[in-house]
Structure 1
Amino acid sequence: MTAPGWVGYFGLERTPFGKRIAARDLFARPAHAEAVARINFCVAESALGVVTGDVGAGKTVAARAAVAGLDPTRHQVIYIANPAFGTRGLYVTIVRALGGEPRYQRAELMVQAADLLAAEEAERHRRVVLIVDEAHLLEPAQLEELRLLTNAEMDSASAFAGILLGQPTLNRQLRMGTFAALDQRIVTRYAVRGMDIGESAAYLRHHLALAGRAEPLFADDAIARLHRVSGGLPRALNNAATAALIAAAGDAKHIVDDHCAKKAVAELTRD
């Protein structure tokens, strides 16, 4: 894919704030490292954990970093990007990921999923890691089925590690009385917050360096404005920084100043 003209204008080798970045090159910050550590703990203990945060806070990025560090010969990762497929969809996804052909009858499908999960650990010596993104969209019936799947060996063990990634409403939903049994099975919870201004500045420098630019490109006042409008959320900061770069190139400037940042913010917030 051909890079936009402004990429070469700033001496960059590629677009600096895109999604396609290797897990090893992800920007490391305390919140990210803490989320990865919580996920790794759940994997090691075959436990259930919850990672929440606003849209674009970096929940999925943390999960991707954690998965990248797992030994694929000892772990089977099942990633569900969107759980809006009903209770049957949950079982079907698990069965297919573990190499089975889903049975038609729901009762048989439930047993099939449980058996395949148990066999993966007992026979293949691989731990299943089930990651459910957008978990705040899970229906009450799906949450109950998830609880049932965690029962193993008379409720003394779980046949898989489960990671629920979702918006802050997920925690409030889980703490409703009807989900008490599932809530009690959650061994760790972590909320990924937005970056502070120092982290936002370091984030911009990090991604520019990955794209081949070592010299400063954003003025301090531009960074401050982009940080404010993005709330320190990586995805929003990516969009704001890209818009500011385009504005600077359009004005034939070689440094993104506050004027360019202001133009970018106006463009992004325009109705």
Structure 2
Amino acid sequence: MYTDYWGLKEPPFENVPSDRLFRSPQHEEALMRLIYAVDHRKAVAMLTGDVGTGKTTVAKAFMKQLSEKKYDARILSNPALGPVDLIKAILLQFGEKTESNSKTDLLNLLSQRLYRNSERNLNSVLMVDEAHVINDQSTLDELRMMLNLHANGKFLITLVLLGQPPLLRKISSLQPLKERIGVKYHLEPLDLQNTIRYIMFRLKAAGAVRGCYTKEAVSVLHGYTEGLPLRINNICDRCLLIGFMRKAHLIDAKIVNEAIEDTR
């Protein structure tokens, strides 16, 4: 509705995980740490952060950088399963189908797949998204047991765990898994300077040729959103809509406050 008015090719603040990674210093570091973990065949990498900090966007950028010639990388998006169902779900993600409900058979099938990948010089990677929703400690323990598989002194699989802060507490209670974590990083909200950069990044990616927000507007916006990209997107989108309806030339602090009130 407002894109033509602001000279945009598309809405800049959609709240779906984007393929465009905003490379703030911390998002860049998170990405580099994950790449390091799989390049060096670490057992476990863990990326945590509050809702809306950009974990999924970092994860998408990470998966995009993994060459299919070097990696067999899969994503498990719903890990709140019991141990047997978890193994079956992992097998399904790796393209292995079975009717068996025998844990022994399932683990054997999974180990065969991982060994085949190793023989083909493929590094196996399993990203477990929303890992904080795993409430069954035996499920976390099952993930740890996968790390007992080795070949030529290397782990046959790298687990990449993504989740909200409760994941840190759950992992801390499982010392054997905690000790296998080779790389971890916690995403914090953006500071004011990076909030400005983030807004400019999203606008430019959407085709903007000029700035739309005053410094005062961004200051108010940052104070309310606390630097969380998810909240920034919500408020910025409302600001552009309100600015369009008011025929404003720029988004000022008054429009931001109106957008904030609109969310309450």
State the TM-score, normalizing by the size of structure 1: 0.91
Residue 230 of structure 1 aligns to which amino acid in structure 2? T
What is the CA–CA distance in structure 2 between the aligned matches of 1:168 and 1:21, rounded to whole Å?
Answer: 20
Q: Which residue of the partner structure matches residue 148 of structure 2?
A: 151
Q: Which residue of the partner structure matches residue 262 of structure 2?
A: 267
1:63 is the counterpart of 2:59: yes
1:186 shift after superposition? 0.6
1:109 is the counterpart of 2:112: no
Report 1:162-177 matches (<5 A): 162-176=159-173
CA RMSD in angstroms comes to 1.8
Q: Which residue of the partner structure matches residue 75 of structure 2?
A: 79
CA 1:59–1:155 in 2, change beyond 3 Å: closer, same or farther? farther
What is the CA–CA distance in structure 1 between the aligned matches of 2:197 and 2:81, rounded to whole Å?
Answer: 39
Q: Which residue of the partner structure matches residue 91 of structure 1?
A: 87
What are the superposed Cα offsets for residues 163-222 of structure 1, whole Å, 9 maximum, x if unpaired? 10111121122112xx11111101111111111101001111111111111211011111
Q: Which residue of the partner structure matches residue 129 of structure 1?
A: 125
Gaps of 5+ in 2: none
1:118 shift after superposition? 2.0
- The answer (yes or no) to whether the contact 1:117–1:128 under 8 Å persists in 2 is yes
What is the CA–CA distance in structure 1 between the aligned matches of 2:209 and 2:85, rounded to whole Å?
Answer: 47
* Aligned partner (choices 187, 192, 201) of residue 192 of structure 1: 187
What is the CA–CA distance in structure 1 between the aligned matches of 2:248 and 2:4, rounded to whole Å?
Answer: 13
1:211 is the counterpart of 2:211: no
1:18 shift after superposition? 1.9
What are the superposed Cα offsets for residues 119-158 of structure 1, whole Å, 9 maximum, x if unpaired? 2112x22111111111111231111000000112499542
Residue 260 of structure 1 aligns to which amino acid in structure 2? I
Gaps of 5+ in 1: none
Counterpart secondary structure, 1:249: helix
Q: Which residue of the partner structure matches residue 240 of structure 1?
A: 235
1:45 shift after superposition? 2.0
1:255 is the counterpart of 2:250: yes
CA 1:155–1:19 in 2, change beyond 3 Å: closer, same or farther? farther
Corresponding pairs, count: 261
What is the CA–CA distance in structure 1 between the aligned matches of 2:29 and 2:206, rounded to whole Å?
Answer: 26
1:42 is the counterpart of 2:37: yes
Q: Which consecutive aligned stretches of 4+ in structure 1 deviate over 3 angstroms post-superposition?
A: 19-23, 153-157
1:224 is the counterpart of 2:219: yes
Q: Which residue of the partner structure matches residue 9 of structure 2?
A: 13
What is the CA–CA distance in structure 2 between the aligned matches of 1:153 and 1:93, rounded to whole Å?
Answer: 21
What is the CA–CA distance in structure 1 between the aligned matches of 2:258 and 2:152, rounded to whole Å?
Answer: 57
Residue 184 of structure 1 aligns to which amino acid in structure 2? E
Counterpart secondary structure, 2:9: coil
Aligned-residue sequence identity (percent) comes to 29
